[in-house]
Structure 1
Amino acid sequence: MCGIWALFGLSAHTSIHSNSSFTKIHHRGPDAWRIEFDNRVKNSCIGFHRLSIVDCLYGMQPMKLHQYPYLSLLCNGEIYNCHRVSGLTLQIGALREQFDFKYETNCDVECILHLFAAGGVENVVKNLDGVFAFILIDAKEGRVHCGRDPYGVRPLFRLYSEIGVLGVCSEAKDLQKKSVTENIRTLLTASVKKRLMAERRIGCLLSGGLDSSLVAALTVQLAREANLPYKIQTFAIGMEDSPDIVAARKVAAHIGSEHHDVFFTAEDVIQALDAVLYHLETADITTVRASVGECYEMRKYCIPIFIGRAF
């Protein structure tokens, strides 16, 4: 695990930003760290916290090669098809052998620079087999490329502020708190808004918890802004003594939705279980528990339902 960090589009002196934020991810790479300013990429600052695993002597970053002096690489990753782990015998289909790259280090991530120089960023991501997050700076073209493995095993967070500052980091905590909050608000609002396309009346499941309450409140607000010709319905599902029922009523009264309580008993759960398992095609206990009400009881209403849920 290493830590990569970069800021682009800065107006203040780079040392101010590096001192206040770069050190927050020190725990990701205790062996060495480096901050770099390159005049060829103005108003920027990049940094790296290293945990030495491969090529402990020459694998420090930002990585530059004599062959491509205009490229700089920050990468937290392991590239499995670079070469064989045991000994120096090359793996069949390994990138070094396949493309005849001339390596300057024994570091696995060096192949990213070679692949980019040979065919651009798409050539990089389509050929890598591994877990990775990278920032690749092309000073000649004045472009920054960011990439991450498909599942985000190696995380990478990006922030673009209203004043034109781009921040990229291995952890979200290193980005400005206010901007991260604004970004979450923007993305969540956009996610709800684009789903207000149904021709039928829309409803929301509401438990009174944080996730469902946020989704329901945004749905009500955006529906009003869109002048939908009806009130958004909310539904609280549970047993009559459930604290969720009480909490949902309070939230519904606050946001101004048309609220409904949907009760079920232990016997209803037993009766519904076979049908729920049949339609879910899984016996995962968390999914089944949540779906007894959502999938079975709500079938009586048959309307588009918005759900806010955390697992």
Structure 2
Amino acid sequence: MCGIVGWIDTMEDISSYNLAVKKMMDTLSYRGPDSYGTYIHENALLGHRRLIVIDPSGGQQPMTKVVDNTHYTIVYNGELYNTEDIRSELITHGYSFNSYSDTEVLLTSYIHWKEECVNHLNGIFAFCIFDEKNKSAFLARDHLGVKPLFYTQLGSSLIFASEIKGLLSHPDVHPILDEQGLMEIFGLGPATDLGSGIFKNINEIPPAHGMVFSNGNIDLKEYWELKAIENNESLEEILEHTRYLLEDAITRQLISDVPICTFLSGGLDSSIISAVASKNVNHLKTFSVDYTDNELYFKSSLYQPNSDSYYIKVMSDYLGTNHNNIILTQEALAEALNESVLAKDTPGMADVDSSLLLFCKEIKKHVTVGLSGECADEIFGGYPWFTRNEDLYADTFPWAKSVNYRSRILNDSLKKLPLEEYVRGKFKDTLSKVPKLDGEPIEDTKIREMTYLNIKWFMITLLNRKDRMSMRNSLEVRVPFADHRLVEYAYNIPAKYKLLGGREKGLLRESVKDLLPDEIIHRKKSPYPKTHNPIYTNIVRDNLSKILKDKSSPILDIIDTKYVKEIVDTNGSNFEVPWYGQLMTGPQVMALLTQIDFWLKSYNVKIL
């Protein structure tokens, strides 16, 4: 993986501003610590930071290829998993290659198919290709949005970067937060509206979109979308088809010229990936995370029915992996809250972020590439809201029922913001776009709706988190369940099969029952582990209390200090509904508020 930046202006000569792009590139050094490069043209300045994973000598960027006297130059962040398939096809069309890197294959695919090249790609990617002859640029992002790409338009200029900090280092881009941004943070956060960068005039290319920039104009188009297709296969055929796509996705993503590992929580998803990987990687390294003395304070709940440790050992012993259990201290977890904001450039998921940041930091000491189980719950129905009628028929996002509590945090002047209407509007707008089949059973329609909501909102939030926290540590994380072929297929599995036996991920469990121990197959869904230790709660409570007492704290300009003090005084217990998802309860709400204060201060955010 890598970090990319650029400044395109096809109407002005910008070649003398190359130092501005170098500064943008330097902000992303951790995304690509192994090498860097720039491309300077009167209408385009491109920068690239590289994390070497495949073809160390042949994948240098920016990469330029000349065909029919036209120069094409690419900067690219990602990984293609069908590189050799595309290369073989392009060779039949008369093209030759100077390397075995996927970068050259991607660039050549654009030269041949132009904007349609994205329809030939299987992978995770964000890239920009500049065509010198036509003075145009094409930018695109992968199907599910695993890799990020932000941009802003200033007059006739397009400025882009893998992360928001890259844009903010440009002298003409500023961190401004308007009412829309405030509603995203306090209404939707840590989720963001597709295409939004939270800051005013900063946007993100949405997943599955390509953008042509020419003559100062942006043409943004969706190149892939889910389609409702009737599945007439038998249960046996569906199980076989699912198993094939899943194993193929995992196997394709094991290609690497550097050490590789899997994340292993003892849950179904990471266990499947680890089991397939162990057949292909000798002495597979696996990694899990926990917290000091967490077993002393763990309490079973609807969302976390059991802890991971027992099941991790079951799987590690079963596969014979070289397992590494990372134990994080409460102090380190709290201290890393600020760095996780710097990694994401916006407030996030409190210690759910900081723990992943520290986890990835430890993993990076051993390997450069990891495979993780994100996206299985969204596409195979793994969350509780897939099996609860009150959620399936609700009028808002099932993971964000705390809007009423959220609005209480804002001060009187901001309580007028229509948070509930704003969130419900986003919910209804998304539902209106759900692909459905005429006359299908209501059960299928409801599962389609929930799946679509999860893919467009919950899943992309977790993918953003995984990218920022891992790449902050120069660790590439791949997500096989986000293979768009698997997502397309799973979307059209009838509900009676997807939730086979009335269970979350029932079909997925059945499809791999010969691959894993019975204890893993039947284990109830449990999310990413969080700390339950009161030491952590005390630390974030004290930090928030200090912020409330410091009159220079920027968050005081937007919050109801009386209500927030009540949160502090009750150790977060008066915030009764999880802020987001399954994990962000009272301690995480307090931690999030300290993150927001740090963000406002560190980024010098101007609130309109």
RMSD: 4.1
TM-score (norm 2): 0.30
| Secondary structure at 2:143 match in 1 | coil
Q: Which of 155, 161, 171 pairs up with 1:169? A: 161
Distance (Å, rounded) in 2 between the aligned partners of 1:63 and 1:146: 15
Tell me if 1:108 matches 2:102. Answer: yes
Contact 2:124 2:146 in 1 (8 A): yes
Contact 1:159 1:180 in 2 (8 A): no
Contact 1:135 1:145 in 2 (8 A): yes
Offset at residue 77 of structure 1 (A): 1.5
Distance (Å, rounded) in 2 between the aligned partners of 1:113 and 1:245: 46
Say if 1:255 and 1:142 are closer, same or farther in 2 by CA, change over 3 A: same
Aligned letter for 1:31?
D
Say if 1:256 and 1:98 are closer, same or farther in 2 by CA, change over 3 A: closer
Distance (Å, rounded) in 2 between the aligned partners of 1:29 and 1:112: 19
For structure 2, list consecutive stretches of 5 or more residues without a partner in the other structure: 190-400, 421-446, 451-498, 505-524, 528-578, 582-608
| Residue 23 (structure 2) aligns with | 20
Say if 1:138 and 1:247 are closer, same or farther in 2 by CA, change over 3 A: same
| Residue 58 (structure 2) aligns with | 58
Q: Which has the larger radius of gyration?
A: 1
Distance (Å, rounded) in 2 between the aligned partners of 1:172 and 1:249: 25
Offset at residue 250 of structure 1 (A): 5.7
Alignment of 1:226-237 (within 5 A): none
| Secondary structure at 1:104 match in 2 | coil
| Residue 86 (structure 1) aligns with | none
| Residue 132 (structure 2) aligns with | 139
| Residue 230 (structure 1) aligns with | none
In terms of fraction of residues, the more strand-rich structure is 1
Say if 1:186 and 1:147 are closer, same or farther in 2 by CA, change over 3 A: farther
Contact 2:15 2:40 in 1 (8 A): no
Aligned letter for 2:158?
L
In terms of fraction of residues, the more helix-rich structure is 2
| Residue 3 (structure 1) aligns with | 3
Offset at residue 186 of structure 1 (A): 8.8
- State, as a whole percentage, how many aligned pairs show the same letter: 22
Tell me if 1:210 matches 2:200. Answer: no
| Residue 345 (structure 2) aligns with | none
For structure 1, list consecutive stretches of 5 or more residues without a partner in the other structure: 84-93, 193-208, 214-236, 260-277, 287-308
| Residue 115 (structure 2) aligns with | 121
Distance (Å, rounded) in 2 between the aligned partners of 1:135 and 1:144: 7
| Residue 71 (structure 2) aligns with | 70
Contact 1:7 1:45 in 2 (8 A): yes
Which structure is higher in RCO with an 8 Å CA cutoff and minimum separation 6? 2
In the TM superposition, what whole-angstrom CA distance separates every residue of 1:127-175 from its partner, at most 9, and x where no partner exists?
Answer: 00111111011111111000110111111111113x3331111111111
Q: How many residues align?
A: 211
Distance (Å, rounded) in 1 between the aligned partners of 2:179 and 2:408: 26
| Residue 47 (structure 2) aligns with | 47
Distance (Å, rounded) in 1 between the aligned partners of 2:51 and 2:32: 4
Offset at residue 248 of structure 1 (A): 6.9
In the TM superposition, what whole-angstrom CA distance separates every residue of 1:173-200 from its partner, at most 9, and x where no partner exists?
Answer: 1112784645x749769x99xxxxxxxx
Distance (Å, rounded) in 2 between the aligned partners of 1:245 and 1:79: 41
Aligned letter for 1:80?
Y
Contact 2:186 2:406 in 1 (8 A): no
Distance (Å, rounded) in 2 between the aligned partners of 1:11 and 1:110: 26
